[in-house]
Amino acid sequence: MKKAILAAFASRLTMPDLQLMPEERLTVSRLRIEVLAGLTVALALVPEAVAFAFVAGVHPLVGLYAAFIVGLITALIGGRPGMISGATGALAVVMVALVAQHGVEYLFATVVLMGLMQIFAGVMHWGKFIRLVPHPVMLGFVNGLAIVIFLAQMSQFKVPGSIVNTGHGMGGGEWLSGMPLYLMLVLVGCTMVIIWGMPRITKLIPAPLAGIGIVAAVVIGFGLDVPRVGDLASIKGGLPTWHIPMVPLNLETFEIILPYAVILAAIGLIESLLTLNLVGEMTGKRGGASQECIAQGLSNTVCGFFGGMGGCAMIGQSMINVKSGGRTRVAGIVAALFLLIFILFAAPMIELIPLAALVGVMFMVVIGTFAWNSLTILRKVPLTDAMVIVLVTVVTVKYDLAIAVVVGVIVSALAYSWNNAKRIHAIRRESVTETGAEVYEIQGPLFFGSAEGFAELFDVANDPDVVIVDFAESRVVDQSALQAIEAVAGKYEAAGKQIKLRHLSRDCHRLLTKAGHLMVDSDDDPDYEIAVDYGVRTGILGGH
């Protein structure tokens, strides 16, 4: 594992990103874009990190330190330049129960164990399994997450100081009303208009940064009484310090933190890898799944030892970065460093920024993240795919991302299995090589879903004494398929008839041989050399 981590560092520090486009090389112009994109992301990270710390029931600095540490390490060695990681709500809602029952020290220990699990997943190259997530699940994922980001902004429309932690996240509080509400809405709308219109005027400054800057200048200049970042909590602090979690090193502690660590590791990797794919589609880059697992794991392990709540990829901030022009690792590194500067030196200034400006930025992220085309394709795609899109969206909003993705994959897999189960059929003809023999040409895959249908293809009572089952257009997939073949052979044995299997693909042949049903060589199939007289192989029937 140690070698894999060192290799990850070496590959990131000594090799350029091979897929970096010529216009994305680190020129002066590119550096300016990356730095401004990083500043924009850092400003958007502050209220999110503070809010998620409240959700988890920990001090705001615990969330800010996590955003800094996770953001910096993943920016340095992550699998996708342009991605932004930090403290997230998906993890915070799981952490709240642990913190409430056992305290923050157990959270730090859990984050360390979570990180080690993610490193292990990366070393084992388990990140590649994200390719099994179907496109309808991806559409549901982005739609659900867009709705979650939107709903998360609603707490900013409540009177500062009236929001409480209910134990299941942030809730309660009094809604803004009257002039404060109208002023908040106007400022949010102005921010969105600026972000929409700025690229049409100039691209020298990222549109989200321009929106935040202009609206903040108006609010501060005119002394408008609106909720600001400082109303959430003070973000001033020192450097994160090395801190070994103060928990008993015994089996009882391990039993407490293990279930949370597994859930957090799974949620973190799923959200990170799906965000990696989404950013990859926007930037035209591929790969890096296992590298991202290692980066996420290492960042969380370090985070747990420096008093952070851990984190994962953030789709909202990643979209802000990409939309602002961030394409290299510089933007993510700059965002993390700016965040640290805010904590150490610029807290009083950052705390003056109106929340309305940041809400406007996140609303534009919601508009850009939601897959609006999915609303039109629902009528065009197969019904099952449409149901998966809606199901994943609803479950993401109602529960969490990990459950939604697992449910979506399971439903998609079951639908695929059902459709393939109906494809099994046979073409019957007389054999041209053996007089009086009947040939069944099997069409479609033979697996657990089609095993019953396979058995129904044969007319044992009326078939001749010799039956040939040709698998040239089929595949034997699993143990259920082997059992189906054996059951059919048993029926022919009982009827005193002989059955032969031909044209099994090499992988099917290995599967049957491993199960003890086949011999390696056969003269029945000179091309494939894997045809078989089933009766001779198993001893169920007489000689060939």
pLDDT in tens, 190-242: 999 999 999 999 888 999 999 999 999 999 999 999 999 998 889 999 999 99
3-state helix, strand and coil shares in percent for the chain, rounded to the nearest 5: 65, 10, 30
If one compares 388 and 537, the residue with the highest pLDDT of the two is 388
Distance CA 193, CA 496 (A): 82
Per-residue pLDDT, averaged over 251-267, amounts to 95
Average pLDDT taken over every residue of the chain: 86
The domain spans of the chain are 2-11+28-158+176-377, 383-421, 425-538
pLDDT at 301: 98
Cα dihedral 148, 153, 157, 162 sign:
positive
pLDDT at 509: 67
Band (23; pLDDT cuts 50, 70, 90): very low
Q: Which residue has the tokens 């930090």?
A: 86
pLDDT at 508: 67
Q: Which of 247, 279, 286, 281 has the alpha carbon at shortest distance from 111?
A: 247
Long-range contacts, stretch 184-187, CB < 8 angstroms, 24+ apart: 184/156, 184/157, 184/226, 184/227, 184/355, 184/356, 187/215, 187/218, 187/219, 187/224, 187/226, 187/354, 187/356, 187/357, 187/360
If one compares 448 and 171, the residue with the highest pLDDT of the two is 448
Instruction: Tell me which CATH code domain 425-538 carries.
Output: 3.30.750.24
Band (527; pLDDT cuts 50, 70, 90): very low
Whether the pLDDT of residue 544 is over 60: the answer is no
pLDDT at 432: 78
Q: What is the DSSP string of 463-490?
A: S-SEEEEEEEEEEE-SHHHHHHHHHHHH
Per the CB < 8 A criterion, the answer to whether 187 and 354 are in contact is: yes
Runs of H (alpha helix) within 342-478: 347-350, 355-369, 373-377, 383-398, 401-421, 451-455
pLDDT at 85: 97
Band (409; pLDDT cuts 50, 70, 90): very high
Q: Which of 81, 7, 87 has the alpha carbon at shortest distance from 339?
A: 87
pLDDT at 131: 85
Token readout for 36 is 């401004």
For 509, residues 6+ apart whose C-beta sits below 8 A from its C-beta are: 518, 528, 530
Distance CA 33, CA 82 (A): 12
Whether the pLDDT of residue 9 is over 50: the answer is no
pLDDT at 165: 53
Token readout for 518 is 């086949």
Per the CB < 8 A criterion, the answer to whether 319 and 368 are in contact is: yes
Dihedrals φ, ψ of 430, to 5°?
-80, 145
Whether the pLDDT of residue 506 is over 90: the answer is no
- Residue 441's SS3 state is strand
Whether the pLDDT of residue 164 is over 60: the answer is no
Per-residue pLDDT, averaged over 461-472, amounts to 90
CB-CB neighbours of 371 under 10 Å: 17
Whether the pLDDT of residue 10 is over 50: the answer is no
Whether the pLDDT of residue 317 is over 50: the answer is yes
Percentage of the chain lying above the pLDDT 90 cut = 59
If one compares 149 and 514, the residue with the highest pLDDT of the two is 149
Band (171; pLDDT cuts 50, 70, 90): low
Band (26; pLDDT cuts 50, 70, 90): confident
Q: What is the pLDDT of residues 276-304, one digit of tens each?
A: 988 888 877 777 899 999 999 999 999 99
Residue 169 per-residue DSSP state: S
Distance of CA 519 to the CA centre of its chain: 44
Distance CA 125, CA 279 (A): 20
Per-residue pLDDT, averaged over 116-127, amounts to 95
Cα dihedral 443, 444, 449, 451 sign:
positive
- Residue 224's SS3 state is coil
Token readout for 346 is 């610029």
Q: List the single range of 106-120, 168-182, 256-270, 319-333 with lowest mean pLDDT.
A: 168-182
Task: Categorise residue 496: left if φ over 0, alpha if ψ from -120 to 50, beta otherwise.
Answer: left
